[in-house]
Amino acid sequence: MSAPLVYLNGQYLDRSDAALSIDERGVYFADGVYEVVRYFNGKAFTLAEHLDRLKRSLDGIDLAWDADAIAAISDELVQRNGLTDARVYWQVTRGSAPRNHVIADDLVPTIYLSAEEAQTLAGDEPLATISAITTIDDRWHNCWIKSLMLLPNTLAKTKAAKAGAGEAIFVRDGRVTEGGATNCFAVFDGELYTHPANRYILEGITRNVVIELAKSLDIPLHEQAFSSADLPGADEVFITGTGTLLAAVTEVDGKPIGEGGAGTITRQLWDAFVDRVRSDCGVG
């Protein structure tokens, strides 16, 4: 559930008092970018990485705004809402102007942040498990930009939900790219595979942490796309993301993965991930 206070253009407001202009380009054209950041124990996890990616996304759509300012706003929003473990949504849109495809030079960006309570990692949190479906990846070719233009993702995730699944795994030209709101990993013969960070996926911050952890655990890692046809034969599949953290995929398109539970490498990475969060954010 969303926390009562949000931030909009310099003000901390009750959610019900916050309003955007009808001429907001974020509404007309999805003309904006966003981030979702996790707080544990009152501290933002991988903050520098989120700021860096926000700057890359802003550059990617030619939106000039000093993104560094958002960190202090985000911290204050979490504090004002009395949260310690939270998911914070950052959104920067181009601003407001009568509908015109051509972007005017004098627009003032709209900055909006909201927060919601999220799971702590202070106890004995189990690794989540979910089922997934595969679906065609018909998104644009700039998925590295964390754009607001998420209609294909929302349609794919709704298709998954209607099939009783927790995530939709995108397939482009026969290869797995990523999930609707996550990155996707698979284990074949004890080696870990995930799509390379190019224009066909969002370079997930959680993905990159997991890659670092796999390297430190000496798990062979290939940033190499794998075929969706091979997915049912994978020993393990898991997804990563700021919302999900890490979840074992136990079934794809109705077929069980491995033994149908979380696999060894997935568990090992989850334990290492929890340790990393706890040491970075001073949990416990």
**Min dist. Cβ of residue 273 to ligand PDD (A):** 11
Helices (H) and strands (E) in the chain, counts: 6, 15
Strands 236-241 and 245-252: antiparallel
Interaction residues for ligand PDD, span 240-259 (CB under 6 A): 240-243
Position 183 contacts ligand PDD (CB under 6 A): yes
**Min dist. Cβ of residue 208 to ligand PDD (A):** 8
The verdict on whether 43 is a catalytic residue reads no
Position 194 contacts ligand PDD (CB under 6 A): no
Q: Counting beta carbons within 10 angstroms of the beta carbon of residue 18, is it exposed (0 to 12), middle (13 to 18) or buried (19 or more)?
A: middle
Which CB sits closer to ligand PDD, 31 or 178? Answer: 178
Stretch that binds ligand PDD, among 76-84, 105-113, 156-164, 181-189 (CB under 6 A): 181-189
- The distance from CA 92 to its chain's CA centroid, rounded to whole angstroms, is 16
Position 202 contacts ligand PDD (CB under 6 A): yes
Position 181 contacts ligand PDD (CB under 6 A): yes
Position 196 contacts ligand PDD (CB under 6 A): no
Annotated catalytic residue, options 43, 55, 146, 215: 146
Stretch that binds ligand PDD, among 62-70, 96-104, 121-129, 178-186 (CB under 6 A): 178-186
* Number of neighbouring beta carbons within 10 Å of residue 206: 22
Position 91 contacts ligand PDD (CB under 6 A): no
Which CB sits closer to ligand PDD, 245 or 252? Answer: 245
Position 134 contacts ligand PDD (CB under 6 A): no
Position 207 contacts ligand PDD (CB under 6 A): yes
Strands 245-252 and 255-256: antiparallel
* Total interface residues for ligand PDD by CB under 6 A: 15
Nearest to 250 by CA among 273, 229, 227, 234: 234
**Min dist. Cβ of residue 36 to ligand PDD (A):** 4
Q: In what order do the strands lie in the sheet with 86-93?
A: 11-14, 5-8, 110-117, 86-93, 32-40, 43-44
The C-alpha atoms of residue 284 and residue 266 are separated, in whole angstroms, by 23
Packing angle of the helix pair 47-60, 70-80 (nearest 10 deg) = 130
Q: Calculate the dihedral angle through the C-alpha atoms of 232, 213, 221, 268, rounding to the nearest 10 degrees.
A: -40
What residue ranges bind ligand PDD (CB under 6 A)? Answer: 36, 153, 178, 181-183, 202, 204-207, 240-243
Active site residues per annotation: 146
